[in-house]
Structure 1
Amino acid sequence: MVNTRTDADLSAAIQNALQAMLPRIREEIREEFRTGENWISHMEKIFDVMGCEDAFKTRLAVYKFEGNALAWWKAYKQAKGGDAWLVTMTWAYFKKLFFRQFFPRSEQERLKREYHSIRQTSTETSTEFMQR
């Protein structure tokens, strides 16, 4: 059997699969947006499955933005130079922007302090400690 798929066929198949996945992805982002790291990890899993190139990752990620996130992104992108600027953006830079906007430094520091203060009590087993 000969593979007769063209790049256009593959691109169309990816777009169709993406369209089918988007409703579920949008619902998940609403639930996980408060914890930006989970959202970024989720997006990166999607990118891996789809074989996304770095240049497409930001466009796909912001496609999922709604409400305040979308308003912020449109204003930020416009202030930086619009689509001409967007083509220069790396995924690593987008993640920095994302965390700065949606996961403030004060919240990061609070969670870091909370994490470093976790201690196992003398009366709890390792299993109990890990479940807590």
Structure 2
Amino acid sequence: MHPPTFDGHGDPTLAEDWIQDIEEVLCVLNCTDKQKVLYSTFQLTGEAKRWWISERTIREAGRRGVVSWPHFKQICFDSFFPRSIRDARAKDFADLIQNFSELVDKVTIVERSFKRSVELQEQRKGLTPLGFPSNENQGPWKRMKLVNNLGQSQVQDNQRNNSCKSCNVVHFGDCRRRAGWCFRCGKHSHLVRDCPKQPDGSVNPNLPQRTDFAARGKNQHNAM
């Protein structure tokens, strides 16, 4: 095996990675906590090695006893991976999780909106320009059409039953055609086709025109 070394330089996360890697090797070797501290400190180089010599000297001078493996990991983290940096990394990770959760929510909303849009488009494909289903055989629309057709048929039947036998028109009171009334001016002396009152003010061409010769003959007859 080739246990990893650590010199104390670079990204602070390298200290965490080194402890995890070397702890795996020490567990495979079935080392005790005391042996783990001895073997781990032996793999320190450079600045990390100088840090451990200083830390060991201070502990020996203060007679603090042997450093346990959990305590060694803690003081190593505090020196090369400070809590302030760990807290900042933890906050960044929490923000990333929060942003990812919000992103998932937005994607879900977009998916629902897209699905609803597709459903509406499919529904519009089955409608006529007036907004009615193109397939008239569909349940409620078919019944609605049958009711409308039945109502129209009843109205037409009532109109036929109540229409005048002389003019075939539904009206109140006596029939003008049967009584000989003019439908335009309402007089009894002529029918509407012979009415002298035309809608545009012109003379009815169906009436006989009086000539000057006829007028003179009438005047001479009156003079006699």
Q: Which amino acid aligns with 2:71?
A: Y
- Could you say which structure has the greater relative contact order, defined with CA pairs below 8 angstroms and 6 or more residues apart? 1
Q: Which residue of 2 aligns with 1:11?
A: none
Residues 1:99 and 2:101 are matched in the alignment: no
CA shift for structure 1 position 44: 1.2
Q: TM-score, normalised by structure 1?
A: 0.65
Q: Which amino acid aligns with 2:30?
A: G
Q: Which amino acid aligns with 1:115?
A: F
Residues 1:44 and 2:23 are matched in the alignment: yes
Uncovered stretches (5+) of structure 2, i.e. residues with no partner: 109-224
Structure 1 or 2, whichever has the larger Rg, is 2
Structure 1 81/70 Cα, relative in aligned 2: closer, same or farther at 3 Å? same
Residues 1:54 and 2:10 are matched in the alignment: no
Q: TM-score, normalised by structure 2?
A: 0.40
Q: Which residue of 2 aligns with 1:90?
A: 68
Q: Which residue of 1 aligns with 2:115?
A: none
CA shift for structure 1 position 123: 4.0
1:109 to 74, 77, 87: 87
Residues 1:70 and 2:49 are matched in the alignment: yes
Which structure has the highest helix share of the two? Answer: 1
Aligned sequence identity (%): 22
Q: What is the DSSP-based 3-state SS (H/G/I as helix, E as strand, rest coil) of the residue aligned with 1:65?
A: coil
Q: What is the DSSP-based 3-state SS (H/G/I as helix, E as strand, rest coil) of the residue aligned with 2:22?
A: helix
Structure 1 95/61 Cα, relative in aligned 2: closer, same or farther at 3 Å? same
Q: Which residue of 1 aligns with 2:203?
A: none
Query: Number of residue pairs matched?
Result: 99
| 1:82-112 Cα distance to aligned partner (Å, 9 max, x none) | 7x756x2110000110000000111011101
